[in-house]
Amino acid sequence: MLMLSVYNTLAREKQVFTPIEPGKVRMYVCGMTVYDLCHIGHARMLTAFDVVVRWLRASGYQVDYVRNITDIEDKIINRALELGITPEALVDRTIAEMHEDLGALYLQPPTHEPRATQHVGGMIRLIEGLIANGRAYPAENGDVYYAVREFPGYGKLSRKSLDDLRAGERVGIDPHKRDPLDFVLWKAAKPGEPQWDSPWGPGRPGWHIECSAMSEYHLGSHFDIHGGGEDLQFPHHENEIAQSEGCHNHSYVNYWLHNGFLQLHGEKMSKSLGNFFTIRDVLKHFDGEVVRFLLIRGHYRSPINYSEELMRDAKNGLERLYTALKNVPPVGRAPIDWESDYARRFKTVMDDDFNTPEAIAVLFEMANEVNRTGSAELSAQLKGLAGILGLLQRDAVDFLQAAHGEGGLSAEAIEQMIVARTEARKAKNFAESDRIRDELLKAGVVLEDAAGKTTWRRQ
């Protein structure tokens, strides 16, 4: 029997996945800090874990998927001040925009989407537990810090030692910290900022404590999978482990999964570097399913590049798959035959740490076979397997005829030109007929004549 194996960052190796509770998976992924529109690098991370959840569910697991929202943070406060609105108004607007963008990429909603501000009480209780265990301390300025040297396992995820971290320390020394490496759990209130009451005075939580509290509330203090971008390994995920294990004195997460970066000209795409495109920027030119196809065509742990040329290549690839479905419409929605050769190969590669590039290669082989044999049953299997990846679930003709945000002739204009071409052919005016075909081709529209009918698709 095939077993799912995943690359566990904590162990630095692939391991057979064994959930804590048979048949059920509890999974947490660090979501967005909602101060601005999501960029395409964020889409890379969110789509990667959407595929993980889809495959777990296709494998028969009941998945409790939590993806949080950070709705209180310095960037949110500063952006709200710039715009002259309240942080709450900025957060509500940005969350609505995020949901719209992720829906365009065919991401399924998480089981739970907690906001940090809904869990401040849980964060305070965690901090109290850490103080009681001697791993955190209140400072005179009203802040509360985590004492990293009081947690023996600090650095086990990122493979960083405290001595190496201390040697590389460049930030100014905070006189309120016992050690420069200590990090803040609770920030004392500043004038004009959102604040909550606490045993240490009014203030707000630090960023790292938020995920420890939200994951514990929804999944318990020990759960199966924690995911996020590879840039979160240190310090964010390292600090989460220190907080949760430092409070509860037992293991926090069994499997840590991290996705590779989306790169532009060889650099990580990020707002801090200023080299990014928002999801909305890209959707002005390309269909959301094309974007999704590009993002999952590379393995989730590997860096992938973004360019307009690669986007067009992804568009062409997706059109090849949809063309097979158009030429040979699937027979209903038949269940996947997991005993068939294609499905078994698809499952084998997906069970090997969610190897989507190899899974997509199987889809292309199926499409070629559909075109060769005209098998409607195989076409249905192609659609079913692709659906696990969030692909090929639209009407094939609709997809192939859609403008995908790139402008060009409208469907109505194309249909009118096809009618004119048909009339020209009936009148044996083949020069006019060829002229119309060439004009459509220049506009990116391909005509296909078969069985006395003319169909079209965008090139």
pLDDT tens-digit readout, 65-80: 999 999 999 999 999 9
Q: How confident is the model at residue 271 (pLDDT cuts 50, 70, 90)?
A: low
- Out of 82-96, 168-182, 249-263, pick the least confident: 168-182
Q: How confident is the model at residue 119 (pLDDT cuts 50, 70, 90)?
A: very high
**What was the pLDDT predicted at 64?**
98
pLDDT in tens, 148-160: 999 999 999 999 9
285-401 CATH fold: Four Helix Bundle (Hemerythrin (Met), subunit A) (1.20.120)
425-443 mean pLDDT: 83
Contact 134, 150 (CB under 8 A): yes
pLDDT in tens, 417-428: 888 888 888 888
**What was the pLDDT predicted at 432?**
80
Does the predicted TM-score (pTM) go above 0.85? Answer: yes
Contact 279, 43 (CB under 8 A): yes
- Out of 98-112, 204-218, 257-271, 377-391, pick the least confident: 257-271
**What was the pLDDT predicted at 213?**
98
The structural architecture, per CATH, of the domain 21-138+146-164+206-263 is 3-Layer(aba) Sandwich (3.40)
Give the bridge partners for 5, in sequence order. 16, 352
- Out of 25-34, 333-342, 402-411, pick the least confident: 402-411
Is the per-residue pLDDT at 34 higher than 60?
A: yes
Binding-site entries for ATP: 271
188-201 mean pLDDT: 94
**What was the pLDDT predicted at 170?**
52
Contact 392, 382 (CB under 8 A): yes
**What was the pLDDT predicted at 272?**
67
**What was the pLDDT predicted at 167?**
55
Binding-site entries for Zn(2+): 30, 211, 236, 240
Q: Is 3 exposed, middle or buried (0-12, 13-18, 19+ CB in 10 A)?
A: exposed
Binding-site entries: 30, 211, 236, 240, 271
Contact 123, 203 (CB under 8 A): no
Could you tell me which of 361, 381, 359 has the C-alpha nearest to residue 370?
381
Q: How confident is the model at residue 54 (pLDDT cuts 50, 70, 90)?
A: very high
**What was the pLDDT predicted at 347?**
98
**What was the pLDDT predicted at 46?**
98
Give the bridge partners for 7, in sequence order. 14
Is the per-residue pLDDT at 324 higher than 60?
A: yes
Is the per-residue pLDDT at 450 higher than 70?
A: yes
Burial track 287-300 (b if 16+ CB lie within 10 A, e otherwise): bbbbbbbbbbbbbb
**What was the pLDDT predicted at 1?**
47
Provide the mean pLDDT of the chain.
92
434-454 mean pLDDT: 81
Contact 7, 355 (CB under 8 A): no
Is the per-residue pLDDT at 401 higher than 60?
A: yes
> In angstroms, what CA-CA distances link 282 with 51, 264, 285, 306?
21, 14, 6, 11
